[in-house]
Amino acid sequence: MVYKVYYQELKTEVPVREKTKTIYVEGVSERDVRTKLGEKPYNIEFVCPVDGAFLDYEKQNEDFRVLEIE
């Protein structure tokens, strides 16, 4: 399943909406995605599953790409 992850670049940053970035990660569950991103210096704000019509909509964005982290 594909998950959309909202994050800040640094764990030390206070979350500010204007600086929030998103990435898409392939994973089995939200916990799996958080574990895969655990080594990155990200301050993860929110992880949500993306499927169906929402996934189709997101795929229309030219910046859409799914990270496959082992």
Residue 64 lies in a domain: no
Q: Are strands 66-67 and 21-26 parallel, antiparallel or unpaired?
A: parallel
Give me the phi and psi of 6, to 5 degrees please. Answer: -100, 130
Query: What pLDDT is recorded for position 19?
Result: 87
Tokens 């993306």 -> residue = 50
Residue 65 lies in a domain: no
Residue 27 lies in a domain: yes
Residue 60 lies in a domain: no
Per-residue pLDDT of 49-59, as tens digits, reads 999 999 999 99
The structural domain count of the chain equals 1
Residue 62 lies in a domain: no
Query: What pLDDT is recorded for position 22?
Result: 92
Query: What pLDDT is recorded for position 17?
Result: 86
Per-residue pLDDT of 1-47, as tens digits, reads 999 999 999 888 788 888 899 999 999 999 999 999 999 999 999 99
Which CATH number does the domain housing residue 33 bear? Answer: 3.10.20.730
Query: What pLDDT is recorded for position 10?
Result: 87
Quote the pTM value: 0.86
Owning domain of residue 31: 2-48
Residue 67 lies in a domain: no
Residue 63 lies in a domain: no
